[in-house]
Chains A and B, each alone.
Chain A
Amino acid sequence: MPNSDLSGMHIDALKEISNIGMGSALTSLAQLVQQKINMSVPNAGFYPVEKVVSLTGGEEKLVSCVSLRVLGDIQGTIMFVFEEESTYLLVDFLMGNPEGSTNTLDDMGKSAVQEVGNVLTGSFINALSSMTQFKMITTVPVFAFDMMGAVITSIMAANGRIEDNVLVIETELFQDSRKVKGNFFFWVDPDYNNILFKALGMS
């Protein structure tokens, strides 16, 4: 649920950033895997930690997660979460294997999923930069493949993101057939919320 501190206008602006940023990111991914990949209308708002876990459905669900830090004029954390089957499909697409040939995740597979995170984040950041004129860089991605609850809370704790409410921009990603399902999260560090809003013409 969006926090009441955020006006409809703020939420719309965040959704718009996400729309443009992820739109451009998915075009890059589509080129990489040679598959058409769509996205849902993004959600934006302040969510408690528990809600972030439930957004992606189920603490014990096996997921892969790629996370990167965004540094520069705006700082925050980016996280991609893919369900188990989607993870394997992404590996198949990237490796040029027939669909369904991957059913475990080896080191090569892990690198492939990290690379997807890298490509998506790169394009997202570039789109955000050109909208806001902000300079940003990202760190090398980190990776996990385990229970969703364990993965998400670990990233939040590592970032010191322990407030009850975290500014989250979230988008559901899926391939045309809806076989590749994933979620994109961008948590803006608290000190940078206002900078972001200002850059978008709101204070």
Chain B
Amino acid sequence: MDQAKLKEVHVGIADLGVVLRPDKLITMGLGSCVGVSLYDHVARVAGLLHLMLPYSTYFKNVDKKPKFADLGIPLLVDEMKKKGARLPCITAKLVGGAQMFSGNDEKLILNIGEKNVAAAREILKSMGIKIIAEEVGGNVGRTIILDSSDGKILIRTLGKKQMEI
């Protein structure tokens, strides 16, 4: 395939993106944040969400839905449906949810990453979306590139070989 024609769409922090084959979605520097990759293998629609926090219900001012697992995942599914995806064909992959900091401060060390992953799993389950692969936890930052032609994810970390799920 002609690489030059491929478009790589950047998904920012607390944001989401949807592309059609053959474009790719990229989000950089996932720490405790979780990258939720959704893929409809029939319509070849790919969606990526970069969420920061598990539940919006703990906050008074919810300014940006994609910041939260509970609001961001349904929103991503809606956006994918607009591009032709159908819920029964969508599968999910989760990446991120790391614990970046070490030290003795309970508030700062409080494991948000773990909670983000748990919330994403719960919300996906409630929507009937199956998780087919995960690369979560640990203490490394990750960059991911989701390929809409096959739903595969390339994971980049610093100082280690990149991997694919």
Contact = CB atoms under 8 A, between A and B. Distances in A.
Tell me, yes or no, whether A binds B.
yes
Contacts, number: 127
A50 B110 CA distance: 22
Given A147-B143, A159-B108, A154 B102 contact: no
Given A143-B102, A150-B31, A154-B100, A69 B108 contact: yes
A154 B101 contact: yes
B2 interface: no
A154 B112 contact: yes
Interface string A150-184: 11111111111011100000000000000000000
Contacts of A158: 32, 101, 107-110, 112
B112 A144 contact: no
B64 interface: yes
Contacts of B129: none
A148 B158 CA distance: 11
B49 interface: no
Nearest to B32: A154
A97 interface: no
Contacts of A62: 158-159
A69 B158 CA distance: 27
A149 B28 contact: yes
Interface in B78-119: 98, 100-105, 107-110, 112-113
A148 B29 contact: yes
A142 B28 contact: no
B67 to A, nearest CB: 6
A142 B103 contact: yes
Chain B, interface size: which category? 35 or more
A62 B67 CA distance: 24
A139 B101 CA distance: 14
Q: Is the interface of B mostly helix, strand, loop or mixed?
A: loop
Contacts of A149: 13, 28-31, 141
Chain A: interface secondary structure?
A: mixed
Interface of B: 12-14, 28-33, 52-53, 59, 61, 63-64, 67, 98, 100-105, 107-110, 112-113, 139-143, 156, 158-159
Given A143-B103, A160-B53, 11 more contacts: A49-B52, A53-B29, A59-B28, A140-B105, A147-B141, A151-B31, A151-B141, A153-B31, A153-B52, A157-B53, A157-B112
29 contacts: A53-B29, A59-B143, A60-B143, A65-B101, A140-B104, A142-B102, A142-B103, A142-B104, A142-B109, A143-B103, A146-B139, A147-B141, A147-B143, A147-B158, A149-B141, A150-B30, A150-B140, A151-B101, A152-B31, A153-B52, A154-B31, A158-B32, A158-B107, A158-B112, A159-B107, A162-B14, A162-B67, A163-B63, A164-B64
